[in-house]
Structure 1
Amino acid sequence: MTDHAETAPSTTPVAAVRIHPADTVATAIADLAAGELLAIGGTGVRPIEPVARGHKVALAPIARGAAVIKYGFPIGVATADIAAGAHVHSHNLATALSGAGDYHYAPPAPAPAPAPAPAASARSFRGYVRADGRVGTRNEIWIIPTVGCVGNLAARVARIAGARHAGRVDGVHAFKHPFGCSQLGDDLGHTRALLAALAQHPNAGGVLIVGLGCESNQLGPLLDGIAPARRAHIRTLSAQAVEDDEAACLALVDDLVAACADMARTEVPLSRLVLGVKCGGSDGLSGLTANPLVGRMADAVAAVGGKVVLTEIPEIFAAEQMLMDRAVSREVFDETARLVRDFKDYFIRNGEPVSENPSPGNIAGGITTLEEKSLGAVQKGGKVPVVDVRRYGGEATIPGLTLLEAPGNDAVSSTALTAAGATIILFTTGRGTPLGFPAPTLKIASNSPLAARKSGWIDFDAGQVLEAGFDSAADALLGLITATASGGETKAETNEERDIAIWKSGVTL
């Protein structure tokens, strides 16, 4: 929808954009002064007050109680009469979202012949082909602690081994976390499933799982969650069972490096990529630039047979029907509806409204309601058919778009994307963040000022679509993705930003 946003004629500086012809607001793409003429779709609106970049300006009078329309859909209800040209935000717009969800299934229409994707089909990258046929974008050694008690041991071993084996593998990394003990039931199960999934990731040529010995998250049950065919590259150690735990860990890492150091990159088609899509610190331009640009990447990868994973389930609330309409079967539709309802119930059980979003940073950037945030966020999935639904710790296995259970938290959801098999993560942001995760993570700025100001964080400037359009930006971003998959460092990797976070959802003893 954003590709067809209405803008001013080329002779007039474009200061605001109406995304859909039905919209009653436009989004400022630069700070607007009062009285500045906005030539949008012939409306000739002038702001009656200053409107910051990313914020909304009313294109016509909006009565109190009326829906405010953006992306062609309601994003909430006016809480006061809004004059044409007025700033539309938290002071005069509120969510209309409730916990209810009445979803409707329509059988998918016969699939048209796939649109040609010459740019994508011609792309390839140099990846590591694993024994089971999956392809990694890195050949690293990962050290995974079962419990927080041995997290520092894992980090110390990674530092020593990383220096010892520099140049033989793409890196040695430890992923500390505070969990693995004093957890019960499903909460412990979440931790175990997540760590087991990470241990099977194709970017890890070798994995050392380090336990303490007395923790709840015992090595045996954790290994039971790993397919036997994927255990050849995994070593385990219980720190309490050996005299010199550091030396024992280093010896196992030496063994893992020896086994995978000679692995060479191989030219493979783009279809072998697993793309995770994520947004964090969004602003009012995210749904106009970065997210639809990432949606084009999702379309390109899926069109040639690749996999795309979308998560942050609370950030599809109010836009979930759009995804459900793309379900390839009644079964996938039902699983999607169940996933969304379960997440809404999770909020309600804990006494929280399902609309408890956006964040303070989102609001400062111009996003007012969860409806607005969600309608912008789901664009990261492009137009790819929804083929599967996976619960937390699950793996994406089917070409197309997989919906993955995880909350919106940046670190938790990006870790879940990695555990689901994502070998590249595209992370859009309007505010900026230095965070990085086990899978290479490309930060894509929604606006050019952020890309210029935080060049040490940002890998790609999606603000360029406002000047040059989507086609050239999409070609450039696809090129960056393939270069990164072939070994090019992301800014987060250069900055040694590589962490995990686990979804804590239960009682701690």
Structure 2
Amino acid sequence: MPEAIRIHPADDVATMLADVAAGETVTLPGLELTALDAVARGHKIALRPITEGEAIRKFGAPIGHATAAIAPGQHVHSHNLHTGLTGTLDYRFEAGAPPPPEPNGQRGFLGYRRPDGRVGTRNEIWILPTVGCVARTSQRIAEKSAALAEGKVDGVHAFSHQFGCSQLGDDLAGTRHVLASLACHPNAGGVLIVGLGCEENQIDQLLADVPEWRRPFIRTVTSQFAEDETADGIAKVAELIEIAAQAKREMVGLEALVLGVKCGGSDGLSGLTANPLVGRMSDRVAEAGGSVILTEIPEIFGAEHLLMQRALGAEAFDRIGELVNRFKQGFIDIGEPVSENPSPGNVAGGITTLEEKSLGAVQKGGHATVVDVIDYGARISRHGLTLLEAPGNDAVSSTALAAAGATVILFTTGRGTPLGFPVPTVKIASNSALAARKPGWIDFDAGAVLEQGFPATEEAMLDHIRDIASGAETKAEINGEREIAIWKRGVTL
């Protein structure tokens, strides 16, 4: 195995696959050079002389500019590379991508078909509080209802949050839309909505966002008006369990799967292994007629052109540009740079600039056509790749993916995280060292790509996704890691 990889022929740097000391020889296909500095795994080493101010390329695209002259063999990182990102940009549509292919009948999974035609990968009872005041009440109802679910449904889970009151306008509407979308999720065979009574996020207004066909699968409790809200909630969960228990798994095609794709705690290998591997999963699902959802808008800054080239038409193209510029303007309006990323963990793992992080991150979307761009809290309505409005924060964006309809989330990581979300969350390590060190967190080792290549690892990954979608538990599910987080965008009263 080579000690470093040049991702694209035009790249000025290679990514180290192992630590190297100063003075050691670095071997990569078709080239050897002497390391002038110690360079850690995941970090970059210069392949040619680079002058001060010159653009530095990785993934075949600029990731910033040199702040000093760099010689071949030198470490390229924060000390000599700086972002080139500034403010908003003008985008011009030139050509549209072809529409997604017709379903190709790929082998699918055992799922739960719902009345609206969507298919769940779980059959659970979800308890959603309208407001943080009844978050613990919701958890108590779930805990006391767990025994009722055994052998009938896949579990009873409460998703607490701190919002739903002291919010105004679009901020309150965002909370309501996310909760309503979760209430419609195909992984929930039934939903109990627990309210307080006096909160801004009133149950009747939340239910107005829920389609009529879904109402028979929803029950509500208003705590201030109930004699015993816990007993009332348990009784209604029992009703929902009996309704949900009538659903049975059946074989469906891969076109019934909705993948949410996410990265968190990325390192310098994420763009070489885990993210491209997830991109291949996105392509397989999209080619089968399924759906893929990509988000983390601030983490596509500098790489949005790769998505815009694949926009289905001018409308999708324009909406991508508008969404990126809107996020950038939000940073500018509060006096923050648009490039205030990567995180300290990303930097320690070898990622220097937001352009570099973004060029690696967008690979999770594969090469699928971008068919739609949707707002935060909205639900997908088209097959193919949908771009979803949400920030990069792991919990907020993953919750938004679930609310949009993702029935499995593929979560790549180079540093590791235990977090899990309402739907099965598959943790994919970018490097084998993380997979070996954190077997209780990691579901799949994408570091195998470096030894086995993409074709073999791709098939293993797709089989693993089919197993998860058919009921095999993820590590996060085994550990009881199930969270939601709501995007706070306005004042607090």
TM-score normalised by L of structure 2? 0.98
- The alignment partner of 1:362 has SS state of helix
The equivalent of 1:193 in structure 2 is 177
Residue among 420, 423, 433 paired with 1:436? 420
Partner in structure 2 of residue 176 of structure 1: 160
Paired amino acid for 1:367: I
Cα distance in structure 1, aligned partners of 2:211 and 2:53: 55
Instruction: Say whether residues 1:127 and 2:111 are aligned partners.
Output: yes
Give the Å deviation of 1:108. 2.2
Q: For residue 335 of structure 1, what is the amino acid of its counterpart?
A: R
Task: Give unmatched runs, 5+ long, in structure 1.
Answer: 1-12
Give the drift of 1:396. 1.1
Over 4 Å off, 4+ runs: 113-117
- Structure 2 residue 407 is matched with structure 1 residue 410: no
CA distance in 2, matches of 1:239, 1:349: 40
Question: d(CA) in 2 for partners of 1:251 and 1:230?
Answer: 20
SS, match of residue 231 in structure 1:
helix
Paired position in structure 1 for 2:471: 487
**1:246 corresponds to:** 230
Q: How does 1:55-66 map to 2 (within 5 A)?
A: 55-66=43-54
Identity %: 65
Paired residue type of 2:185: H
Confirm whether residue 142 of structure 1 aligns to residue 151 of structure 2. Answer: no
Does residue 76 of structure 2 align to residue 84 of structure 1?
no
- Deviation (angstroms), 1:100: 2.6
Superposition CA RMSD, Å: 1.3
Partner residue, 1:44: 32
Give the Å deviation of 1:35.
2.5
The separation in 2 between residues aligned to 1:417 and 1:503, in whole angstroms, is 12
Instruction: State the secondary structure of the residue aligned to 1:232.
Output: helix
Aligned partner letter, 1:167: G
Task: State the TM-score, normalizing by the size of structure 1.
Answer: 0.95
* Match for residue 16 of structure 2 among 12, 24, 28: 28
Q: Secondary structure at the match of 1:335?
A: helix
2: CA distance, partners of 1:126 / 1:345: 44
**Aligned counterpart, 1:96:** 84
Q: Specify the code of the residue in structure 2 equivalent to 1:42.
A: G
Letter in 2 for 1:55: H
Is residue 2:306 matched to residue 1:322?
yes
SS state at 1:38 partner? strand
Tell me which residue corresponds to 1:268: 252
Please give the alpha-carbon distance, in whole angstroms, between the structure 2 residues aligned to 1:154 and 1:430: 34
Aligned partners of 1:19 and 1:433: how far apart in 2? 26
Structure 1 residues 403, 110: CA separation in 2 closer, same or farther (over 3 Å shift)? closer
Q: CA deviation at 1:349?
A: 1.7
Structure 2 match to 1:288: 272
Please identify, of 454-463 and 219-228, the stretch whose mean Cα deviation from structure 2 is larger: 219-228
Partner of 1:157: 141
Shift of residue 104, structure 1, vs aligned partner? 2.3
The match for 1:3 is none
- 2:236 and 2:330 map into 1 onto residues whose CA distance is 41
**Secondary structure at the residue paired with 1:170?**
coil
Q: Deviations over 1:108-142 (max 9, x none)?
A: 2667x95997xxx4321000000111000000000
**In structure 2, how many angstroms separate the alpha carbons of the residues matched to 1:320 and 1:414?**
20
The amino acid that maps onto 1:67 is A
Preserved CA contact (<8 Å) 2:97 2:310: no
The Cα shift of 1:336 comes to 1.1
| Separation in 2, partners of 1:116, 1:507 | 45
Give me the whole-angstrom Cα distance separating, in 1, the residues matched to 2:149 and 2:313.
49
Query: CA 1:180 to 1:164, structure 2 compared with 1: closer, same or farther past 3 Å?
Result: same
CA distance in 1, matches of 2:98, 2:344: 43
User: Matched residue of 2:462: which SS?
Assistant: helix
Give the distance between the partners of 1:405 and 1:163, measured in 2 at CA.
Answer: 38
